[in-house]
Amino acid sequence: MGMGFVKHNGSDAGQFILCLTSLFSEDFLRKTARETGFVKRLRKIDPVVMFWVIVLDIGVKSMRGLHRSYERRSGVSLGVSSFIARFDPGLEKFLHSCVVHALECQANDAYVELSGSLKAFKDLLIQDSTIIRLHESLAEKWPAARSRSVAAGVKLSCIVSAVEDGVKSVRVFPERTAEVKTLRLGPWLKDRILLADLGFFDYNSFDKIERYGGFFVSRLKGNANPRIVKVNSVCRGNSIDVVGKKLKDVLPGLKRRVLDVEVEVEVKRRAYKGKTTKVARTFRLVLVMGEDAKEYHSYLTNIPIDKLDGEGIANLYRARWEVELLFKELKSDYRLDEIKFEKPSEVISMIWVAILTLICSRQLLRLMKRLNPAKARLYTHLQWAKIFTEFAGKLMDKILESMNLELDWLTYIDILIDQGQTPNINRERLMDP
């Protein structure tokens, strides 16, 4: 056997195709396309081919490129303008429904189990958002938050699940939407930990999370100055008395590596007939000296000390880096930072496309880890994304082949004859004379 060629069990190879086609089956795609109005009757646009082309032909970065790719895979000659016209609200709804479907399926197929001190919780959730910069022609619809020149952008808000090893929730907002308004709190938080971005810092929201039976960890805002009402862990030696004092009055004389206390804050609650009442609430505050020994890192939480100590809270919050890596994956590998289209439906559609590409990538990554459990930890998200991007086109061809949608060579030759001609038929050529 030649070097570099390895025989694999056919059933193992087929798992990679089945992994995606079971999530997005041909029947599901066709039914959803009809229900969302993307297709009213099967004519030149095949929703199945269209779905896999725009989701898995990752290297294509222009509408004309997607058009050529669709023609090659479908064997149908379609005008560029007709193809572009299909990026309408119907396609937007179709792709969004596919995202919702995938996230629901993913929620029923937990991949990771929390261990150690986190076993008492159902999931570890990480919330954050990122800005997607858009064509300046969309500035009136989606104006940028901070820009001296004409600019446009939207905010992509995500919740990442540690148990599902992927996106649990994703929503799109105008860029100027306040961070605290991008997260819908509810009973789904029960027995789950939410690591919140500092932009989400809000005592009222923390109060709601606890009332829903959930837990949170957040960095403390720089201007926050709560009153200390209790010390959770006693420091050895001579230590200053901090109970009853404001945090900023205590910090200058603080020399402990970890300060773990209870603090009292004021929460506004909506009362009867729309009137608000102010309620005193107690949360846990953990201060941990940074590795440079120059300043404290402050964390507000409601996780009891008997479930996670102060050092554990600080280490847990570091997991927030996972959502930053996810945004990097979306932007660097799945074209989220390259949306140059000028119509709102095209823009939102391509955002859902990037999310669907991510979902397909993570779906295969979970399968790869299951097939190679001894080396599972070596498959990092970013490394996998690079390899997945390189092979996604071949994977798409195999998926279409499994659905009997592959083309014969005569059809390919017809496509080459058609697409090899320039669309500028009246332009004068230098060598024509």
Please indicate, yes or no, whether residues 92 and 128 belong to a single structural domain of this protein: no
The helix/strand/coil state of 288 is strand
Would you say residue 335 lies in a domain?
A: no
Asked whether residue 128 falls in the same domain as residue 69, the answer is no
- My answer on whether 29 and 160 are in the same domain is no
Tell whether 281 and 415 lie within a shared domain: no
What pLDDT does 355 receive? 96
* 362 occurs within a structural domain: yes
Distances 62 to 83, 116, 281, 417 between C-alpha atoms, Å:
12, 47, 53, 21
The pair of three-digit structure tokens given for residue 409, joined into one six-digit string:
């060579």
Strand partners, 134: 152
Tokens (6 digits) for 69: 């790719």
What is the spatial distance between Cα 89 and Cα 205, in angstroms, rounded to a whole number? Answer: 34
Residue 2 lies in a domain: no
**Domain shared by 359 and 262, yes or no:** no
Residue 167: beta bridge partners? 160
Q: What is the DSSP string of 37-64?
A: TS-SS-SS--HHHHHHHHHH-TT--SHH
Tally of domains in the chain? 2
* Residues 185 and 316 occupy one common structural domain: yes
Instruction: Please indicate, yes or no, whether residues 284 and 150 belong to a single structural domain of this protein.
Output: yes
Residue 4 inside a domain? The answer is no
pLDDT value for 340: 82
Q: How far apart are CA 237 and CA 398, in angstroms?
A: 68
Q: Which of 394, 397, 388, 399 is nearest to 361 (CA)?
A: 388
Query: Do 221 and 296 reside in the same domain of the chain?
Result: yes
Shared domain check, 144 and 253: yes
Residue at a domain's end among 325, 358, 386: 325
CA distance 215 to 176: 28
CATH code for the domain of 266: 3.90.350.10
Same domain, residue pair 86 and 166: no
What's the pLDDT score for residue 423? Answer: 58
Name the residue range of residue 35's domain. Answer: 10-107+343-419
Q: Which of 20, 88, 30 is nearest to 360 (CA)?
A: 20
Q: Do 297 and 363 have their domain in common?
A: no
Q: What is the pLDDT of residue 106?
A: 86
Q: Specify if 413 maps to a domain.
A: yes
Residue 337 domain-assigned (yes or no): no
Question: Which residues on neighbouring strands pair with residue 297, listed in sequence order?
Answer: 288
Residue that is last in its domain, among 269, 299, 325: 325
Same domain, residue pair 276 and 405: no
pLDDT in tens, the chain (433 residues): 343 433 444 456 688 899 999 999 999 999 999 999 998 765 678 999 999 999 999 877 788 889 888 888 888 888 888 888 999 999 999 999 999 999 999 887 766 788 888 999 999 999 999 999 999 999 999 999 877 677 899 999 999 999 888 999 999 999 999 988 998 999 999 999 999 888 899 999 999 999 999 999 999 998 999 999 999 876 654 567 889 999 999 888 888 889 999 999 999 887 666 677 888 999 999 999 887 767 899 999 999 999 999 999 999 999 999 999 999 999 999 988 888 888 999 999 999 999 999 999 999 999 999 888 999 889 999 999 999 999 998 899 889 888 876 555 445 455 455 555 565 666 665 555 5
- What's residue 415's pLDDT? 47
| 225, part of any domain | yes
Q: What pLDDT sits at residue 4? A: 41
Residue 168 CA to residue 100 CA, distance in Å, equals 10
pLDDT at site 8: 46
If you ran DSSP here, which 8-state letter would residue 333 be given?
Answer: T
164 is a domain residue? yes
Phi, psi of 287 (to 5 degrees): -115, 125
Burial class (CB in 10 A: 0-12, 13-18, 19+), 10: exposed
| pTM for the structure as a whole | 0.86
Reduced to 3 states, what is the DSSP secondary structure of residue 69? helix
